[in-house]
Amino acid sequence: MHRSTRPLIPLALALSLCVTGCADHENAPLAETSASPVEVPVAPSSERDRMFNPAAADRVDQFSYANFDEIAVQHINLDLTLDFEARTLAGTVILDLDRRAPDANRLVLDTDDLTITAIEASGPDGRFGATSYILGEDDPMLGTKLEIDLPENASQVRITYETSPGAAGLQWLTPAQTAGGKTPFVYSQAQAIHARSMVPLQDTPGIRITYDARIQVAGANHDDILVLMGAAQDEDGVRDGDFSFSMPQPIPPYLLAIAAGDIQFRAINDHIGVYAEDYIVDAATEEFGETPRMEEIAEKFYGEYRWGRYDMIVLPPSFPFGGMENPRLSFLTPTLVAGDRSLTNVVAHELAHSWSGNLVTNATWRDAWLNEGFTSYVENRIMEALYGDERARMERALDRQSLIATVEGAPRPALTRLKLPNDMATTDDAFSLVAYIKGMFFIKFLEDRFGRDAFDPFLEKYFDQFAFKAVVTEDFLHFLDMELRQKYPNAVSEEELAIWVFGEGMPATLEDPQSDKFNNVSITQNAWLEGDFNAGDIPTSDWTTHEWLHFIRTLPDGIGTDKMTNLDAAFDLSTSKNAEIAFAWYMKSIVEDYEPAFAPMGEFLRSVGRGKFIYPLYGALAKSESRREFAADVYADARDGYHPIAQRRIDIYFDGTDQ
């Protein structure tokens, strides 16, 4: 039974209290309960029930058609031909079924843009026979519902199908779009709901599947091509156009991953290595040289790494993310290869997902913060252990600043809650900085209140307890309540939890990380702004990317062309090779309408497809009267090189619908 030292405040009241009450909420001292704790009333309120005891409604995934509570797919066997010319994956998938509700005789799957030519179900003799099915109407967001009639006792379904060349989850690159220039390339991006454009399956993080796959490359000319999946691969490594994989650990379908092209490999140690095109493989191996230490640190805090190998693949620059945590094989943007290991927090982040996300998985996208917030927290702990407290605090300070901007610009206040509303327009709404940064600061808040000695083992236990399971926010709160709050009842109040998880905006108990280095940058910046000296005399020689970002982002609005020119002349910011610095500078240049930055900005937009950079740039340019045409011209040029996911996001800026 739950105990609390104070009378409970109903959730609705607690939330309204935030406006006045939480700003000066005292930091409760850490205190362990005595052997005979004082019994206090426990409110059986519906709010409390909802907070610590998930209801069935909390596990509904609004982004999937699948009826997995009745029949769950538990293993898939893929036998596909990868055809660079046709831009398709074609062949069969066999789905193994767990028939949870014996009466249910219809399997409901998610598909998107697939051409299905046959569906068979296994009969009593184990042989496949044709069965009837209905392919529903196409929904622009969810794709197409596929309902398959199942004979009694059928435990397998075999589907013959082919993907579309425009599949949302695959980017097909011509040889000319690769660095090598000779061999085509393809890679997948299934998160959040694009696995259904590659395979007909139950595309919800509420289920898990193991898989086997055989991928054959079509045509005779495939000596250069290596196919990889986020799975164990056949060891021979021979490029004979025929590749086999098996994934023994069960994964949510959004972690299904494939990449193929003229890819080289370099080992970092016996179970960590880097795949990339030849031009960058050595630089990337050097850049990511700390990965073994990152893994050791994460294992020390949170328990064993459970996935066998940890490899990374550096994708072409059009990859729309910084990184994607595909199991055993993180996908990374080449923009991380800055030459000074300054952007490797993204590696720490994707590696951290091996615990938060891949091992313990959000059951619905409303709970995305359970994946991304925990991961951002673990990422920051890794960075702290590796590079020290100052760097970790600088990263949190930059994050806090970005979070404020996100919260202020939120399209709907409900989207600033950690537990997101059940009527999000798209899964993109789940992945704002609210999930990442507000989520991280919530875990950080808990860490501060309970202390690391209690909180680190708690998290390790959480990852173990829910390993290979799907959880909702309320499962975590329940576990927190049982494992920590009962032991330390004064550490965190119920209303503080409610404000963090169900409240909107910035909680008053959110950390404001202080950095001496940033304070020094600010002092210098002020002095320079007041006109005392030339930008070239700003002592920047020991600045890292972080200090540059702090400097650029905190420049006041309207500093004017002279100051911008002065900075640019001293530091070549318009042509910076560091993508983060270049991006911050371009955003500033749009605000200042600083002409000399626009040509290099156009170059940047043509060569990089990472959403973190290009969505805000196109967004700001599209809103600017004088630069909208420039942006439309650049986009017309660059669009073909972007991933379909990025194309869909940016089309909206230019198709007139948002005007």
Q: Interface with ligand BES by CB under 6 A: which residues? A: 191-192, 321-325, 345-346, 349-350, 353, 372, 431, 436, 612
The overall longest dimension of the chain from CA atoms, in Å, is: 87
- Residue with smaller CB distance to Zn ion, 325 or 568: 325
Give dist(CA 525, CA 539) in Å, integer.
10
Structure tokens at 498: 């409610």
- Residue with smaller CB distance to ligand BES, 431 or 528: 431
Site string for Zn ion, 130-149 (x = CB under 5 A): --------------------
For the bound state, the minimum distance from the C-beta of residue 610 to ligand BES, rounded and expressed in Å, comes to: 7
CB 191 within 8 A of CB 169: no
Give dist(CA 348, CA 383) in Å, integer.
7
Active site residue 350: yes
Give dist(CA 213, CA 237) in Å, integer.
15
Catalytic residue, chosen from 350, 447, 474, 496, is 350
Residues 6 or more apart whose Cβ sits within 8 Å of residue 599: none
Q: Is 594 exposed, middle or buried (0-12, 13-18, 19+ CB in 10 A)?
A: buried
Cα torsion through 400, 404, 407, 408, rounded to 10 = -170
For the bound state, the minimum distance from the C-beta of residue 323 to ligand BES, rounded and expressed in Å, comes to: 5
Restricting to residues 639-658, name those near Zn ion by CB under 5 A.
none
For the bound state, the minimum distance from the C-beta of residue 211 to ligand BES, rounded and expressed in Å, comes to: 20
What, of ligand BES, Zn ion, none, does residue 330 touch, CB below 5 to 8 Å by kind?
none
What, of ligand BES, Zn ion, none, does residue 192 touch, CB below 5 to 8 Å by kind?
ligand BES
Give dist(CA 149, CA 151) in Å, integer.
7
Give dist(CA 127, CA 149) in Å, integer.
16
What, of Zn ion, ligand BES, none, does residue 187 touch, CB below 5 to 8 Å by kind?
none
CA 144 to chain centre: 24
For the bound state, the minimum distance from the C-beta of residue 432 to ligand BES, rounded and expressed in Å, comes to: 10
- Residue with smaller CB distance to Zn ion, 324 or 501: 324
- Residue with smaller CB distance to ligand BES, 9 or 605: 605
For the bound state, the minimum distance from the C-beta of residue 350 to ligand BES, rounded and expressed in Å, comes to: 6
What, of Zn ion, ligand BES, none, does residue 493 touch, CB below 5 to 8 Å by kind?
none
For the bound state, the minimum distance from the C-beta of residue 72 to ligand BES, rounded and expressed in Å, comes to: 23
What, of ligand BES, Zn ion, none, does residue 335 touch, CB below 5 to 8 Å by kind?
none
CB 80 within 8 A of CB 89: yes
Site string for Zn ion, 351-390 (x = CB under 5 A): ---------------------x--x---------------
Residue nearest to ligand BES (CB): 322
Active site residue 279: no
Structure tokens at 502: 């169900």
Backbone angles phi, psi at 160, to 5 degrees: -100, 125
What, of Zn ion, ligand BES, none, does residue 627 touch, CB below 5 to 8 Å by kind?
none
Q: Provide the residue type at 107 as one letter.
A: L
- Residue with smaller CB distance to Zn ion, 47 or 372: 372
Strands (E), 27-169: 71-83, 88-99, 106-111, 115-122, 128-130, 133-139, 143-149, 156-162
Per-residue DSSP letter, 305: -
> Is residue 29 classed as helix, strand or coil in its secondary structure?
coil
What, of ligand BES, Zn ion, none, does residue 252 touch, CB below 5 to 8 Å by kind?
none
- Residue with smaller CB distance to ligand BES, 37 or 421: 421
Catalytic residue, chosen from 275, 377, 436, 488, is 436
DSSP letter string, 273-288: EEEE-HHHHHHHHHHT
Q: Half-sphere exposure of 472 toward its Cβ, with a 13 Å CA cutoff?
A: 19
CB 477 within 8 A of CB 442: no
- Residue with smaller CB distance to ligand BES, 158 or 353: 353
Residues with catalytic function: 350, 436
Residue ranges binding Zn ion (CB under 5 A): 372, 375
